């Protein structure tokens, strides 16, 4: 995962933010996928056009990129994203991005999907399970994702999950979150202040970049305690 860490720090939180909102949108709805049409359809009526990113085999414990999966007969129209991401990885000499297949113990499919979703600008990704594995789809177009009612609290929840899943520099990851979401951001000593909606969210960090806690306020003056993460 080391070669992907910097990219998870840059893209991971914003991509995970969209995953949360996607989950709120589709909930526990069932799904079906048409490879011919390139459509992912949920039983709540939502329909997304998709690109195929890759597949995971539970039997072999491997990830395989869609661009390398010749046997599945994936239509060329559904491989644009995978091929663009292959070129993106090659330009950065990312080993796992260039080889057709990787061990999932070394190349986490969900980390890859988060980065790919962020780099490619997808609405999100969907892990579509099947017997013996799963298909990873990037959502290209579809219904608008919901806006959180409490944006600052939402940011804290999303970010806390990200840093619990992956070994990252917390400060760099929060900076990446702000950049990718387009939030105003200011450094203030060991603190990082973000404007999220109509609130200011302040994260404080130790000397190693580890998150010590969050506070929020309706102005630049830090207000009530929102929560802390160790």
Q: What is the reported pLDDT for 222?
A: 42
- C-alpha neighbours within 13 Å on the C-beta side of residue 29: 17
Domain ranges of the chain: 2-141, 151-227
Q: What is the reported pLDDT for 230?
A: 36
Q: What is the reported pLDDT for 188?
A: 87
Please report, in tens digits, the pLDDT of each residue of the chain (230 residues total).
578 999 999 999 999 999 999 999 999 999 999 999 999 999 999 999 999 999 999 999 999 999 999 888 999 999 999 999 999 999 999 999 999 999 999 999 999 999 999 999 999 999 999 999 999 999 999 999 999 888 899 999 999 999 999 999 999 999 999 999 999 999 988 899 999 988 899 999 999 999 999 998 876 544 434 333 33
Separation CA 87–CA 24 (nearest Å): 32
Q: What is the reported pLDDT for 229?
A: 37
Q: What is the reported pLDDT for 228?
A: 36
**Strand, coil or helix: 214:** strand
Residue 161: burial class (beta carbons within 10 Å; 0-12, 13-18, 19+):
middle
Q: What is the reported pLDDT for 150?
A: 81
Q: Considering the entire predicted model, what is its pTM?
A: 0.91
User: What is the number of other CB atoms lying within 10 angstroms of the CB of residue 80?
Assistant: 15
Rounded to the nearest 5°, which phi and psi values hold at 218?
-85, 0
Q: What is the reported pLDDT for 1?
A: 53
- C-alpha neighbours within 13 Å on the C-beta side of residue 26: 24
User: What is the number of other CB atoms lying within 10 angstroms of the CB of residue 113?
Assistant: 24
Q: What is the reported pLDDT for 45?
A: 96
Residues constituting the chain: 230
Nearest residue to 101 (alpha-carbon basis) of 144, 41, 58, 56:
56
The single residue listed with the structure tokens 């804290």 is 156
Q: What CATH number matches the domain at 151-227, 3.40.140, 3.90.930, 3.40.1350, 3.30.310? A: 3.30.310
Q: What is the reported pLDDT for 217?
A: 81
């Amino acid at each position: 995962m080391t070669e992907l860490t910097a990219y998870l720090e840059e893209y991971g939180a914003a991509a995970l933010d969209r995953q949360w909102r996607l989950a709120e949108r589709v909930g526990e709805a069932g799904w079906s996928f048409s490879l011919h049409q390139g459509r992912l359809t949920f039983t709540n009526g939502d329909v997304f056009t998709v690109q195929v990113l890759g597949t995971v085999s539970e039997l072999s414990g491997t990830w395989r990129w869609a661009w390398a999966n010749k046997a599945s007969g994936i239509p060329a129209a559904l491989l644009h994203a995978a091929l663009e991401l292959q070129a993106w990885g090659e330009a950065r000499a990312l080993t796992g991005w260039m080889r057709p297949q990787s061990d999932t113990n070394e190349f986490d499919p969900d980390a890859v999907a988060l980065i790919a979703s962020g780099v490619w600008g997808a609405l999100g990704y969907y892990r579509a399970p099947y017997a013996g594995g799963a298909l990873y789809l990037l959502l290209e177009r579809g219904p608008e994702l919901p806006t959180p009612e409490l944006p600052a609290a939402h940011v804290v929840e999303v970010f806390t999950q990200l840093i619990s899943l992956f070994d990252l520099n917390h400060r760099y990851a929060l900076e990446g979150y702000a950049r990718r979401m387009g939030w105003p951001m200011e450094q203030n000593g060991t603190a990082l202040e973000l404007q999220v909606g109509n609130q200011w969210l302040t994260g404080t960090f130790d000397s190693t970049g580890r998150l010590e806690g969050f506070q929020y306020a309706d102005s630049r003056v830090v207000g009530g305690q929102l929560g802390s993460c160790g």
